[in-house]
């Protein structure tokens, strides 16, 4: 299982239209890639306030997929269309990470297992 994470840097004077991103760009991404993905998440990064430093990012998007090859097979045919839309919501450069999921613990899965320990 892999995770593709897109980080949008928080840069003074830059633009990031979160409403456009959430209501236009991501529905387009989901329409093009959704069937090949196990999960897609979008996060609005919050400023934690003192004593912590201001966050380096304004938004994070993640795609969970069975393999890098499966992600690329879904993304590459739509890459030009999706990347052409970026200028409509931001002028910051993205940081893209591809990582392998080493642990995927979810509370809901653990809770179900504890409620019915005989289920496998």
User: How does pLDDT run across 3-37, given as a tens digit for each residue?
Assistant: 999 999 999 999 999 999 999 999 999 999 989 99
Residue 25 falls within a domain, yes or no?
yes
Q: Which domain holds residue 67?
A: 2-115
Phi first, then psi, for residue 37 (nearest 5°) are -100, 145
Residue 70 falls within a domain, yes or no?
yes
Residue 120 falls within a domain, yes or no?
no
CATH of the domain at 19: 3.30.70.100
Alpha helices by DSSP H, the chain: 18-20, 26-33, 68-75, 79-84, 107-115
Evaluate whether 36 touches 71 at the Cβ level (below 8 Å).
yes
Alpha helices by DSSP H, 4-64: 18-20, 26-33
Supply angle C-alpha 95, 44, 29, rounded to 5: 65
Count the Cβ atoms, other than its own, within 10 Å of residue 8.
22
Residue 32 falls within a domain, yes or no?
yes
Residue 87 falls within a domain, yes or no?
yes
Residue 88 neighbours by CB under 8 Å, 6+ apart: 17, 20, 24, 25
| Per-residue pLDDT at 104 | 86
| Per-residue pLDDT at 107 | 84
Phi first, then psi, for residue 13 (nearest 5°) are 85, -5
| Per-residue pLDDT at 34 | 85
- The low-confidence residues of the chain, meaning pLDDT below 50, are none
Q: How many structural domains compose the chain?
A: 1
| Per-residue pLDDT at 106 | 81
Residue 66 falls within a domain, yes or no?
yes
């Amino acid at each position: 299982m892999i995770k593709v994470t897109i980080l949008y840097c928080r840069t003074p004077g830059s633009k990031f239209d979160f409403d456009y991103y959430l209501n236009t760009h991501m529905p387009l991404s989901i329409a093009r890639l959704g069937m090949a993905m196990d999960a897609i998440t979008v996060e609005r990064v919050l400023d934690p306030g003192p004593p912590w430093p201001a966050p380096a990012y304004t938004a994070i998007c993640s795609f969970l997929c069975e393999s890098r090859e499966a992600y690329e097979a879904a993304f590459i045919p739509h890459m030009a269309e999706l990347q052409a839309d970026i200028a409509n919501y931001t002028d910051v450069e993205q940081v893209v990470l591809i990582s392998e999921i080493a642990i995927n613990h979810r509370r809901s899965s653990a809770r179900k297992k504890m409620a019915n320990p005989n289920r496998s």
